[in-house]
Amino acid sequence: MAFWNKVREDVTNGLRTGMKQGVSALKEGSNLAAEKAGQMAEMGKVRYQIFLLEQKTEKNFSEIGARIYELSQVGNAKGALSDGIVKKKLIEAKKLEKKVKILQGKMAHLRKKAA
């Protein structure tokens, strides 16, 4: 009888230990999954911000081209760089380019962190 009691005690203790280890591993796994999901969400946000800035940049360049074309129609294409509207759009393009580079750096940092 003592033998069976010992077996039952060993099995019960083994199950308790196994359950504790399993729950602990599950908690660690879910914490890691939540962290990775957060990182992926942040990367998605940054990608979307970059996309929006690139769209603004495209629109800006299109407006620059349209203005230069308008100036060429009136015979003033050579002075396009001194045109106020073109200057404003070029300054805006530089700002957008700077913002995109900052976000690309942030994206690189997030990728490195996620690896």
Give tens-digit pLDDT for 75-108.
877 788 888 999 999 999 999 999 999 999 999 9
CB-based contact 43:112 (threshold 8 Å): no
Residue 19 resides in a domain: yes
Q: What are the pLDDT digits (tens) for 42-84? A: 999 999 999 999 999 999 999 999 998 888 888 877 788 888 9
Q: Does residue 17 lie in a domain region?
A: yes
> What residue numbers bound the domain in which 19 lies?
10-114
The three-class DSSP label of residue 76 is: coil
* Closest residue by Cα to residue 95 from 65, 67, 53: 53
Cα(76)–Cα(83) distance, integer angstroms = 9
Please report whether residue 1 resides in a domain. no
pLDDT given at position 4: 65
Average pLDDT over residues 6-31: 71
100 to each of 15, 60, 106, how far by Cα in Å? 55, 14, 10
Q: Is residue 70 in a domain?
A: yes
> Quick check: is 4 in a domain?
no
CA distance 46 to 52: 10
Residue 83 domain-assigned (yes or no): yes
Residue 5 lies in a domain: no
Q: How many domains does the chain have?
A: 1
